[in-house]
């Protein structure tokens, strides 16, 4: 479904991705783990076309999207919930969701909002609350909900559990499973390698912009090098 072939990405002279090849198949949850600064966010953003890959190819459902504009990519069936959950703090929950459905008609937006509320009853309860006054976990649900408003076939999630309490983290992982069960493929970037590998079908390990390991979630969880480096021994 998504294929990166030998992708190189730079910020000026700094190389952030070095010959990265990654594949996400339809119906999978695939996770990308790695330390701070490994290039995880850069990889997701490169898929979205900003920054652009300087070398290599990115294919989505067979179409070469490497040099497409971000807005084109966002309309092609890919959505992202970015790091830091950037919701619009002064808008209500319902208004944030409407913004997420920006290129749909009114009926589709209503249906989209109903769908998001069915996944996140908490957001329905808080429909008229300003997003900036919600808890971190609620804002994260809203960020995921907003991404789902475009009815993506592939959902990119950047650190959805960062800074959240364990109970909320468990809820977010439940939601990720539910989203996948609804037929949406998930590409998940996580610092929380333990939880991410438990939920993922497959995982990639990124170090200094390079993929250094790729395997099933279960095998990576059981791997002693991975346990030492990313799972606290
Ligand atoms: P984290 O978990 O800390 O978010 P990450 O794995 O997502 O880390 P990236 O944010 O992709 O890593 O960063 C990869 C490298 O690129 C880092 O060395 C970072 O300093 C650099 N980098 C990221 N964004 C920029 C930018 N806008 N300009 C210059 N360098 C950048």
Quick: pLDDT tens for 164-180.
999 999 999 999 999 99
pLDDT of residue 176: 94
> Ligand 1 centroid to 192 CA: how many Å?
17
CATH number (3.30.470.20, 3.40.50.300, 2.60.40.10, 3.40.50.2000) of 1-77+189-232 reads 3.40.50.300
Residue with CA at minimum distance from ligand 1 atom 20: 37
> Ligand 1 centroid to 233 CA: how many Å?
26
Instruction: Output phi, psi for 170, to 5 deg.
Output: -60, -40
Instruction: Using the predicted structure, report yes or no on whether residue 233 has a pLDDT greater than 70.
Output: no
Percent of the chain exceeding pLDDT 70 equals 100
* 3-class SS letters over 160-221: CCCCCCHHHHHHHHHHHHHHHHCCCEEEEEECCHHHHHHHCCEEEEEECCEEEEEEEHHHHH
Pocket of ligand 1 (CB under 6 A): 11, 14, 16, 34, 36-42, 191
Quick: pLDDT tens for 141-200.
999 999 999 899 999 999 999 989 999 999 999 999 999 999 999 999 998 899 999 999
Summarize the confidence of residues 27-31 as an average pLDDT: 97
Quick: pLDDT tens for 205-215.
999 999 999 99
Global pTM reads 0.93
Residue with CA at minimum distance from ligand 1 atom 3: 36
Quick: pLDDT tens for 53-84.
999 999 999 999 999 999 899 889 999 998 88
Atom of ligand 1 nearest to the CA of 83: 4
Domain coordinates of the chain in residue numbers? 1-77+189-232
Quick: pLDDT tens for 90-137.
999 999 999 887 777 888 889 999 999 998 999 999 999 999 999 999
pLDDT of residue 78: 96
Q: Is 40 helix (H, G, I), strand (E, B) or coil?
A: helix
Residue with CA at minimum distance from ligand 1 atom 23: 42
């Amino acid at each position: 479904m998504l294929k990166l072939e030998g992708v190189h990405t730079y910020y000026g002279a700094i190389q952030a991705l070095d010959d990265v090849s990654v594949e996400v198949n339809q119906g999978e949850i695939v996770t990308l783990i790695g330390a701070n600064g490994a290039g995880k966010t850069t990889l997701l953003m490169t898929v979205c076309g900003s920054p652009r890959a300087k070398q290599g190819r990115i294919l989505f459902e067979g179409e070469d999207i490497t040099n497409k504009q971000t807005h084109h990519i966002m309309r092609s069936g890919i959505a992202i919930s970015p790091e830091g959950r950037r919701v619009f703090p002064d808008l209500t929950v319902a208004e944030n969701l409407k913004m997420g459905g920006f290129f749909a008609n009114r009926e589709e937006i209503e249906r989209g909002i109903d769908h998001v509320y069915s996944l996140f009853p908490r957001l329905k309860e808080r429909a008229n609350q300003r997003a900036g006054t919600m808890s971190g976990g609620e804002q994260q649900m809203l960020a995921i909900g907003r991404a789902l408003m475009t009815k993506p076939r592939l959902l990119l999630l950047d650190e959805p559990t960062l800074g959240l309490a364990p109970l909320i983290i468990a809820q977010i992982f439940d939601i990720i499973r539910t989203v996948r069960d609804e037929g949406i493929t998930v590409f998940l970037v996580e610092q929380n390698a333990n939880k991410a590998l438990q939920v993922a079908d497959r995982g990639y390990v990124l170090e200094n912009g390079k993929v250094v390991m790729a395997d099933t979630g279960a095998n990576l969880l059981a791997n002693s090098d991975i346990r030492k480096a990313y799972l606290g021994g």
